[in-house]
Structure 1
Amino acid sequence: MFLKRILFIYLSFSISFLSCSQSDDSNTNQNTEEIEQEENNNLYFPPIGSNTWETVSLESINWNTSAIDDLFNLLDDNDTNAFIVLKDGKIAIEWYFGDFQQSDFWYWASAGKTLTAFTVGIAQQESLLNINNSSSDYLGAGWSSLTTEEELNIKVIHHITMTTGLDYTDLLNQFCTDWDCLTYLNEPGTFWYYHNAPYTLSQSIVTGAVGEDFEDYFNEKLKNRIGMNGFWLQSGYNNIYRSDARSMARFGLLCLNNGIWDDDVILSDSNYFEAMTTTSQNLNEAYGYLWWLNGQNTYRLPASTSLFNGKLIPNAPDDLVAGLGANDQKLYVVPSENLVVIRLGESANEMQLGPSGFDNMIWEKLNAVIN
């Protein structure tokens, strides 16, 4: 197999600013403007509509270049297509493997759930939906086979936290969104299970709320504003995002900066963003609004009802939040290190639906480079 390896190495620069207010009134009104500046003070944002992206050398950020081959070999040996590491928004590592190229598209699998969660937040900030309202407000009555009362009790927030209470035990219907596939099992909010069908319906909820197709709304409010290249592709009942690796990195950078792209506030609802990327319920501490969370005391996994002790990814920083998809599609965001890490490719081991042992392996090798 012909190997293409791209490692960009350049010098970094920093951006400084001064924004200060003297009066109490100014302090009260500074939230949007000054906090935006504070958020992106040390971050670089690549231009929209251009392939230009500033890079930074490993030496200039004091990373351990002697450990870089071990990281590369781990990825290469495990069917990786693309691997990118952003430091302060700049490309520190960008590798492509085999015949996969920078412009090639790959599927996000369930890592794309993070895109949906973000889009739900945008619709809520525009007062087009409320996650604490019944799903039926946006899906209409009769979207499931539940009674009217049972159906009304399921709220949007239950869809994006995997707590709808819909029956997940029929493995053949895990993805089916037809009304007769959606049956009652538990009271909403009382049980966590990684059930894909209720998640998929969250996109239909956005469609019903905003009055236009989910993808059209997503493109207008998110994709185009940060310069992503990609599209949603229907596969059976699933709607799966496909893009180039840099587009995933762009979205990770947006989330690293709390929903602000350079000086463009994409998601201004800071309360929603915080709730999305922190524990959303007490049933699975490692799950926000369709985001996986590290550093918690316990966690649950897809296709399991068991509760596990410890951190989701022991080798990773505690503040890591992640989009994790089937066959080891990875989007890691680490605020404490100003890092975004993405991995696209085939499964490193046997097929899984999200978190896997490969997460820990990646971070073992990556830690040796960045620490």
Structure 2
Amino acid sequence: MMKSRIILLLSIIFLGSYGCSENEEAGEEQTQSDPDTEIPTETGEIYFPGTGTSTWETTSLDELGWNSQAETALYQLLDEKNTKAFIILKDGKIAIEKYFGSFTTDSIWYWASAGKTLTSFTVGIAQEQGLLNLNEPSSKYLGEGWTSMTAEEEGEITIRNQLTMTSGLRNNLLIFSCTDPDCLKYEAEPGTRWSYHNGPYTLLQDVIANAADTPFITYFNAQLRDKIGMNGIWIPNGDNNTFYSTARGMARFGLLNLNNGIWNDETILGDASYLTEMKTKSQDLNESYGYLWWLNGQDSHMGTATQEIFSGELLPNAPADTYAGLGKNDQKLYVVPSEGLVIVRLGEDAGENQLGPSSFDNQLWERISALIN
């Protein structure tokens, strides 16, 4: 009930703020927007929609040479699994955009932990601007006493540990999202234990805010959101800070990552080393985790709930170079550089109530692969 009220309220705010639907933008806004652009790359051209307009170029399955006979089966699975919005971009252009029930291009939804990728990208911007360094102790920006550990133990935790889920802080379902010092206790030496833990992650936003000497949301909007024309808003929810946007808003962020931090001709994040590290193995504990992104193509992977290590790659049915933002109730953002793909799925839980990866990922990729191959 609370979630529904938040979404209803945000829908009203979005309509008031943007003034027009995704399908009908005010003429004044269109004239002030950046034009649609195609950027040459090594593998072809990537199209970018303008930042102040709803216009978004499309391409057809026939033009792409995709298997249109697989489209119906894909939609059936999406519908059966409580999907609200689904988008496939091919080289930036919309190949598929499907909404279910009363959901539309203007409807907003929560990203859940897929929003961790936004924070990861923003950390990279802050480091590139010289505001922080991943190897610095988190206490430099959070202050001493942000945990209940000794000063020496606390000082061993770095920003990099927060980015990679290797803080070594004690974690269980009762304190999973808690950011109070009483909840943040020593479990293991930083860097020696991987544990999916919301509390230390959420505090990364305080690290950014203190490093930039400005509220996190203000910094995020100015440095990332507004530059790519992405709608969306962070909403506090207990100890968590949850991002809400339209499906197209998520697709814009995916497109930015597909083009390695460059939007049109503007570099949003130009630190090539950080961009590479963000979407490659960040430690040897969970090989399928980068800087808050989930990674495919690795020899093993872990889930969000246990310390068990599973053999094999995370998404066997997806291309090996796929990396993803994965959130509770199957909020999904996939980026596939080798195929020029960005894929968005928003909706209700597909059936397993997972905080990140679920079996739905492979089910979905089985249908996607049948479509694009």
Q: TM-score, normalised by structure 1?
A: 0.89
CA deviations 1:296-332 (Å, max 9, x no partner) are: 0000110110000001011000000000000000000
Which stretches in structure 2 are left out of the alignment for 5+ residues? 1-36
Answer whether contact 1:39 1:257 (CA < 8 A) is retained: no
CA deviations 1:306-362 (Å, max 9, x no partner) are: 000001011000000000000000000000000000000001102110000000011
Q: Distance in 1 between matches of 2:267 and 2:188?
A: 38
Matched, 1:43 2:46: yes
Answer whether contact 1:43 1:88 (CA < 8 A) is retained: yes
Aligned residue identity for 2:360: F
Q: Distance in 2 between matches of 1:136 and 1:40?
A: 43
Deviation, structure 1 residue 39: 6.2
- Choose from 138, 141, 145 the match for 1:142: 145
Alignment of 1:1-371 (within 5 A): 38=41, 42-169=45-172, 171-371=173-373
Which stretches of structure 1, 4 residues or longer, exceed 4 Å deviation after superposition?
Answer: none
The percentage of counterpart residues that share the same residue type is: 58
CA deviations 1:45-88 (Å, max 9, x no partner) are: 00011000000011011000111000011001111000000001
**Helix, strand or coil: the match of 1:234?**
strand
Q: Distance in 2 between matches of 1:270 and 1:96?
A: 35
Aligned residue identity for 1:261: W
Distance 1:140 1:93, change over 3 A: same
Aligned residue identity for 1:233: I
Task: State the number of aligned residues.
Answer: 338
Answer whether contact 1:81 1:100 (CA < 8 A) is retained: yes
Aligned residue identity for 1:236: G
Equivalent in the alignment of 1:11:
none
CA deviations 1:77-129 (Å, max 9, x no partner) are: 11100000000100000000001111011000000000000000000000000
Aligned residue identity for 1:75: L
Aligned residue identity for 2:143: G
Deviation, structure 1 residue 38: 3.7
Aligned residue identity for 1:47: G
Deviation, structure 1 residue 262: 1.0
Aligned residue identity for 2:141: Y
Q: Distance in 1 between matches of 2:209 and 2:180?
A: 17
Q: Distance in 2 between matches of 1:141 and 1:259?
A: 34
CA deviations 1:197-231 (Å, max 9, x no partner) are: 01011111101110011110000000000001110
Aligned residue identity for 2:326: L
Q: Distance in 2 between matches of 1:158 and 1:69?
A: 43
Answer whether contact 2:254 2:333 (CA < 8 A) is retained: yes
Q: Distance in 2 between matches of 1:70 and 1:95?
A: 13
Could you say what the CA RMSD is over the residues aligned between the two structures, in angstroms?
A: 1.4
**Helix, strand or coil: the match of 1:44?**
strand
**Helix, strand or coil: the match of 1:221?**
helix
Answer whether contact 2:352 2:358 (CA < 8 A) is retained: no
CA deviations 1:231-279 (Å, max 9, x no partner) are: 0010000000000000000000000001000101000101001000000
Q: Distance in 2 between matches of 1:348 and 1:180?
A: 34
Q: Distance in 2 between matches of 1:253 and 1:157?
A: 25
